[in-house]
């Protein structure tokens, strides 16, 4: 049963801002609050919640109207923001004799003085217990992690509430907080009025609390103060007292004195995005570790023994996969057996299943874009251990000094196990996969992650941050990394340069994301399916071209791009279709004199590219990329860290999710539907 009433809903920054009220049992009054809920790919997912405490005389409307730049960052990072009131809403004679005490100035304490206690002036308990559980039950936000921040009186509230409840609020920051209220006029007045003495206020004073704690509670606390803040000058804020006490207790505090800023919401609105980012990084890490603790333990009792598990077997080209129980043998020397937690479908799996891959071998277990946990390791394996989170890589990295490929910054194409990998075998030329009849099954791309367990070469395992959500970062196992790397590594697109992207699947869109992050000035997105354009524009495309039905009379797409949309063509073009005629168009729309066209798409067996040599004579060149030039074991962990830092969002690619390996055929149908970028199948 809902506890709160939604009074209004406003669409903001891609999410929704709800203004609500609810009959509070703690303040025994009808309380108002606002909540910004981001829209997430998985609407059932509970975003972390960041609680904002306002200052004296304020209500929730101050923040939502004057600090609204917070909402875009919150949407981008998938964080909910909750803004609550500043006192019980029971009105009575004498409750607002002065602006800094009483109504809308509850000072985030639980009043013990009867006059105020009887009127529900218990904002401390309201913030610590009542509101978080209401937000959890009514809005499914902050289920796994919460943070708190605030301004002035609310800054004081956030600091002391967090110090006393780090298990409820795992991150804290503040704007111009009243840091040492027992030493400040505002604080003394509030503590005397609500608690009967200033001394009683020590339990609500952040400086006193950090002194008493005498140890670190948070990895860092972010505090912004304006140098032109009048309340800094008149001794209300006292940030230096807090800094001193924190230093004594080894509690890191980052106090940023913002030159020329005052105490207003203009100050807050200027820096609020930094605070949301500060919290997002910590809240997401907390959320992940909470979810992980709950879900992902790996059972190592089968070490050294064959494991029977569910898998989807490709029995032959152009046939649906069959759901079977297979045996996955233990890892031999230099090998790693993993529990596959999630696998995403890539077009290349389909290409091979459709019999278009000259290296296609059947029966085999496909799949190569996954997130896994190490179950056991073979002899001599030192780089990973049971329990580690890894992303399998089909471009392994032996990193041996003798390997001219691994030692060269020019390529990621380590050949150490390429021949056996292409033959569907493990490096020793044998297989670890057998069907129920004991018949051998071929491995695929050195991965075979369409099974609950897989055996990989150690050099194909990218060990990643233990808190990374495997059903998200699995995307760095292929498509998304490939698109980003084609821009950053293979072509090294620079700020201001122009690009054209052919094919707007997950690979094409990640090329756009990479180009946008590189500062490309023009990003022309080409597809035959106009439904793809909305996502392309969201990713950063400046122009969209429907090369099937949207070209000017008598022009083909390359003539439209080079000579129409641009005078001489684009600096870089990317084929993300695998279609040789498109590869030609991509080359021919690249810039006269210096254009580079990068082939990412995988062409069907026997299909070859062609163009008039004149195109190259006049300065254009063709390149290709495998896995975007990323070196699996050194670069993939960095991509995951960038994601965890919130600097590289990828949730937008996950358009479909399925539960259970046996749902893989449905995921394949989804990819064929044309409105699927990545279908992630979660196995556990
Ligand atoms: P996808 O099927 O999701 O996307 C392909 C897109 O191309 C679709 O949007 C489709 O509408 C569009 N398209 C089809 N015909 C077109 C045409 N004539 N002109 C313009 N657009 C057209 O595929 P994906 O998963 O994004 O993969 C794209 C390609 O990249 C595939 O060929 C895949 O095998 C390859 N790939 C290569 C690497 C690598 O390392 N080189 C890595 C991953 C994927
Ligand atoms: N087996 C095909 C080659 C397929 C191909 O080019 N694969 C890409 C990765 S596609 C990922 O979705 C690749 O990295 N190739 C480099 C390599 O060594 O395979 C064929 O044509 O034989
Ligand atoms: Zn792939």
pLDDT value of residue 299: 77
Nearest CA to 256 out of 156, 173, 159 is that of: 173
Which residues lie across from 29 on neighbouring strands?
Answer: 24
346 CB under 6 A from ligand 2?
yes
Interior CA angle at 631 toward 447 and 297, to 5°?
50
Distance 135 CA to ligand 3 centre (A): 40
The neighbourhood of ligand 3, an ion, using CB within 5 A, equals 346, 348, 478
pLDDT value of residue 415: 98
pLDDT value of residue 45: 81
pLDDT value of residue 296: 55
301 burial type by CB count under 10 A (0-12 exposed, 13-18 middle, 19+ buried): exposed
Residue 552 binned pLDDT confidence (cut-offs 50, 70, 90): very high
Mean pLDDT across the chain, nearest whole number?
95
Nearest CA to 207 out of 226, 193, 221 is that of: 221
For residue 295, pLDDT over 70 is answered with: no
Q: Nearest ligand, CA of residue 576?
A: 1
First to last CA, the chain: 31
From 345, 348, 587, 673, mutation site for ligand 1 pocket: most ligand atoms within 8 A of C-beta: 348
pLDDT value of residue 187: 97
CA distance 333 to 610: 44
Residue with tokens 């990323």: 630
Q: Which of 346-350, 382-386, 563-567 has the lowest mean pLDDT?
A: 382-386
Which residues lie across from 151 on neighbouring strands?
Answer: 175
CA distance 671 to 614: 38
pLDDT value of residue 293: 58
Q: Quick check: helix, strand or coil at residue 342?
A: strand
Residue with tokens 């029966």: 363
CA distance 507 to 499: 15
Distance 54 CA to ligand 1 centre (A): 49
Torsion of CA 283, 285, 290, 292, to 10 degrees: 150
Residue 40 binned pLDDT confidence (cut-offs 50, 70, 90): confident
Nearest CA to 560 out of 535, 580, 521, 586 is that of: 586
* 624 CA closest ligand 1 atom index: 41
Q: Residues 531, 555: contact at Cβ < 8 Å?
A: no
Q: Are strands 522-527 and 498-502 parallel, antiparallel or unpaired?
A: parallel
Q: Are strands 80-84 and 49-53 parallel, antiparallel or unpaired?
A: parallel
DSSP 486: I
CA distance 159 to 266: 22
pLDDT value of residue 173: 98
C-alpha distances in Å from residue 626, one per residue of 241, 358, 450: 56, 17, 21
Torsion of CA 228, 230, 235, 241, to 10 degrees: -30
Copy the structure tokens of residue 164. 């006393």
Distance 152 CA to ligand 3 centre (A): 51
- Of 263, 275, 279, 368, which is the active-site residue? 263
Copy the structure tokens of residue 543. 């122009």
More confident residue, 45 or 421: 421
626 CB under 6 A from ligand 2?
yes
Distance 140 CA to ligand 2 centre (A): 43
Which residues lie across from 323 on neighbouring strands?
Answer: 312
Residue 209 binned pLDDT confidence (cut-offs 50, 70, 90): very high
From 364, 485, 626, 671, mutation site for ligand 2 pocket: most ligand atoms within 8 A of C-beta: 626
Q: Residues 145, 287: contact at Cβ < 8 Å?
A: yes
CA distance 471 to 391: 11
Residue 588 backbone dihedrals phi, psi, to 5 degrees: -75, -10
Q: Are strands 80-84 and 29-37 parallel, antiparallel or unpaired?
A: antiparallel
Q: Quick check: helix, strand or coil at residue 224?
A: strand
Q: Residues 179, 238: contact at Cβ < 8 Å?
A: yes
Distance 426 CA to ligand 2 centre (A): 17
Active site residue 229: yes
pLDDT value of residue 76: 86
pLDDT digits (tens, 9 = 90+) for 333-374: 999 999 999 999 999 999 999 999 999 999 999 999 999 999
For residue 588, pLDDT over 90 is answered with: yes
- Of 34, 54, 88, 152, which is the active-site residue? 152
User: Percentage of the chain with pLDDT > 70?
Assistant: 99
Nearest CA to 682 out of 392, 326, 322, 295 is that of: 295
Q: Which of 298-307, 318-327, 499-508, 583-592 has the lowest mean pLDDT?
A: 298-307
How many alpha carbons lie under 13 Å from residue 213 in its C-beta half-sphere? Answer: 25
Q: Residues 394, 478: contact at Cβ < 8 Å?
A: yes
How many beta carbons lie within 10 A of that of residue 607, not counting itself? 13
pLDDT value of residue 469: 87
Active site residue 263: yes
Average pLDDT over residues 368-395: 95
How many beta carbons lie within 10 A of that of residue 234, not counting itself? 10
pLDDT value of residue 315: 98
* 369 CA closest ligand 2 atom index: 12
627 CB under 6 A from ligand 1?
yes
* 346 CA closest ligand 2 atom index: 12
């Amino acid at each position: 049963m809902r506890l709160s009433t939604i009074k209004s809903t406003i669409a903001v920054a891609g999410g929704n801002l709800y203004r609500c009220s609810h009959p509070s049992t703690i303040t025994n009054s009808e309380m108002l609050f606002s909540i910004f809920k981001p829209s997430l790919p998985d609407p059932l997912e509970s975003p972390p919640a960041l609680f904002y405490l306002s200052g004296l005389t304020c209500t929730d409307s101050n923040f939502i109207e004057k600090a609204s730049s917070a909402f875009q960052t919150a949407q981008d990072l998938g964080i909910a923001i909750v803004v609550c009131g500043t006192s019980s809403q029971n009105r009575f004679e004498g409750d607002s004799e002065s602006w800094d005490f009483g109504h809308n100035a509850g000072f985030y304490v639980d009043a013990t003085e009867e006059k105020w206690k009887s009127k529900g002036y218990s904002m401390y308990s309201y913030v610590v217990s009542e509101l978080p559980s209401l937000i959890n039950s009514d809005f499914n936000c902050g289920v796994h992690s919460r943070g708190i921040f605030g301004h002035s009186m609310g800054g004081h509230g956030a600091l002391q509430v967090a110090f006393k409840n780090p298990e409820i609020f795992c991150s804290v920051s503040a704007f111009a907080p009243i840091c040492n209220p027992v030493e400040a006029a505002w604080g003394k007045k509030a503590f005397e009025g609500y608690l009967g003495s200033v001394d009683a206020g020590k339990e609500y004073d952040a400086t006193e609390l950090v002194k008493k704690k005498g140890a670190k509670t948070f990895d860092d606390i972010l505090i912004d103060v304006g140098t032109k803040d009048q309340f800094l000058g008149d001794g209300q804020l006292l940030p230096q007292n807090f800094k001193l006490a924190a230093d004594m207790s080894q509690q890191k505090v980052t106090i940023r004195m913002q030159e020329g800023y005052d105490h207003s919401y203009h100050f807050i609105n200027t820096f609020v995005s930094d605070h949301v980012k500060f919290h997002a990084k910590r809240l997401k890490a907390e959320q992940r570790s909470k979810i992980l603790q709950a879900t992902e333990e790996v059972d190592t009792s089968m070490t050294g023994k064959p494991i029977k598990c569910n898998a989807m077997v490709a029995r032959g080209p152009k046939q649906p996969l069959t759901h079977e129980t297979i045996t996955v043998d233990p890892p031999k020397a230099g090998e790693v057996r993993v529990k596959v937690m999630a696998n995403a479908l890539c077009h290349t799996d389909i290409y091979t299943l459709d019999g278009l891959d000259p290296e296609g071998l059947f029966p085999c277990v496909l799949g190569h874009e996954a997130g896994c946990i190490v179950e056991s390791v073979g002899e001599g394996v030192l780089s990973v251990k049971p329990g580690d989170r890894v992303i399998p890589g089909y471009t392994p990295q032996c990193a041996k000094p003798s390997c001219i490929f691994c030692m060269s910054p020019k390529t990621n194409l380590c050949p150490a196990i390429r021949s056996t990998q292409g033959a569907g075998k493990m490096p020793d030329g044998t297989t670890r996969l057998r069907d129920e009849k004991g018949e051998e099954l071929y491995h695929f791309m050195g991965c075979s992650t369409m099974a609950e367990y897989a055996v990989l070469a150690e050099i194909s395992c990218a060990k990643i941050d233990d808190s990374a959500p495997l059903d998200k970062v699995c995307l760095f196992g292929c498509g998304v990394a490939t698109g980003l790397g084609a821009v950053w590594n293979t072509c090294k697109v620079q700020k201001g340069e122009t690009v054209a992207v052919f094919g707007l699947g997950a690979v094409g869109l990640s090329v756009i994301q990479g180009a946008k992050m590189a500062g490309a000035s023009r990003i022309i997105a080409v597809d035959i399916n106009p439904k793809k354009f909305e996502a392309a524009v969201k990713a950063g495309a400046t122009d969209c071209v429907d090369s099937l039905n949207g070209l000017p009379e008598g022009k083909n797409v390359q003539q439209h791009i080079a000579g129409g949309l641009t005078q001489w063509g684009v600096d870089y073009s990317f084929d993300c279709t695998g279609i040789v005629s498109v590869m030609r168009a991509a080359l021919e729309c690249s810039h006269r004199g210096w254009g580079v066209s990068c082939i990412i798409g995988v062409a069907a067996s026997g299909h070859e590219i062609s163009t008039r040599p004149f195109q190259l004579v006049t300065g254009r060149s063709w390149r290709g990329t495998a896995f975007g030039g990323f070196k699996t074991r050194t670069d993939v962990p960095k991509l995951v860290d960038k994601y965890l830092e919130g600097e590289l969002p990828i949730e937008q690619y996950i358009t479909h999710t399925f539960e259970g390996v046996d749902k893989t055929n449905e995921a394949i149908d989804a990819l064929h539907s044309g409105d699927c970028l990545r279908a992630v199948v979660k196995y556990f």
